[in-house]
Amino acid sequence: MYRSFHVKNEIRVLAIDDSALISDQIMIVGAFFRGGDWLDGVMRSYVKKDGMDSTDVITNMIMSSKHREQIRIIMLDGVTYAGFNPVDINLIWERTGLPIIAVMRCYPDLRKIEDALMHLPEPEKRMDTILRAGSITEVRPNPGSNPIYIQCAGIEAQHAAKIVKLTATRSNIPEPLRVAHLIATGIVLGESRGKA
C-alpha cells in the first residue's frame, strides 16, 4: 500500500549519501531539505565497508532524527552503500512508514554487480536485497537532460519522478542528494569531490 500525500514545492526530504571508501567504517551523511532549495539540517552515521548493516543504520538515522515528524520522503544514492553494503528500501519503508526513492546516475549492470558480490560473504543474500528494490524507472529531471534512474518503495514511480524533478534544481541529481554527497566527501577527504 502506498502512502498518500500531496507533493508541495517545499516537501521535506531527507537525502542520504556515503563518503569515500577510505576505511572500514564509512561515513554516511543525511541532508534534510525543504524541496530542492533549503538545507535545514545535517546528520551523520557510519556503516561498515562491504558490510550488511546499512538498512539498520539508515533506519536508526531516520527514526532518531529530530526532524522525523517533518520528513515526507527519503532519498538514497542507489541501493548499496560503502561499496556493496546493500540497502533494503522496502524494509526501511515498512519500519519508518516513509516512502523511499533510490536515485542512480546509470542503469545498473546486474551481471557485473552479481560477479563483484561473489568475492564477499553472503553474496546471494546481498543480491536478493538489491533485487528486492524492484523495477527501475527512467526519469529526465530537466528538459534535454540526461536520464537518471529510480527505484521506489511506498510511492508510485510517477509521484517519485515528480519529486525528483521538483528537487533537481541545480543539476541532473536532486539537490538534497547532491548536497549530502558534497558534505560527506568534504568531511572525509578535506574537500568535496566526485559526483553524487
Residue 157 reports pLDDT greater than 90: yes
| Confidence (pTM) | 0.93
Confidence of residue 7 (pLDDT cuts 50, 70, 90): confident
Higher pLDDT, 160 or 3: 160
| pLDDT for residue 195 | 66
Burial class (CB within 10 angstroms; exposed 0-12, middle 13-18, buried 19+) of 69: exposed
Angle at 65 between CA 100 and CA 172, to 5 degrees: 40
Predicted confidence (pLDDT) per residue in 73-96, tens digit:
999 999 999 999 999 999 999 999
What percentage of residues in the chain have a pLDDT greater than 90? 84
CA angle at 125 for the pair 121 and 127, rounded to the nearest 5°:
100
Domains of the chain listed by start with CATH number = 12-189 (3.30.2170.10)
Which cell numbers in the block locate residue 191? 574537500
pLDDT in tens, 41-69: 999 999 999 999 999 999 999 999 998 99
pLDDT at 2: 60
Residue 81: strand pairing partners: 85
Q: What is the mean pLDDT of the chain?
A: 93
Cα–Cα distance between 14 and 4 in angstroms, integer? 18
Task: Give yes or no for residue 1 having a pLDDT over 60.
Answer: no
Give yes or no for residue 189 having a pLDDT over 90. Answer: no
pLDDT one-digit tens code per residue, 103-136: 999 999 999 999 999 999 999 999 999 999 999 9
3-state secondary structure of 128: helix
Q: How far apart are CA 150 and CA 102, in angstroms?
A: 5
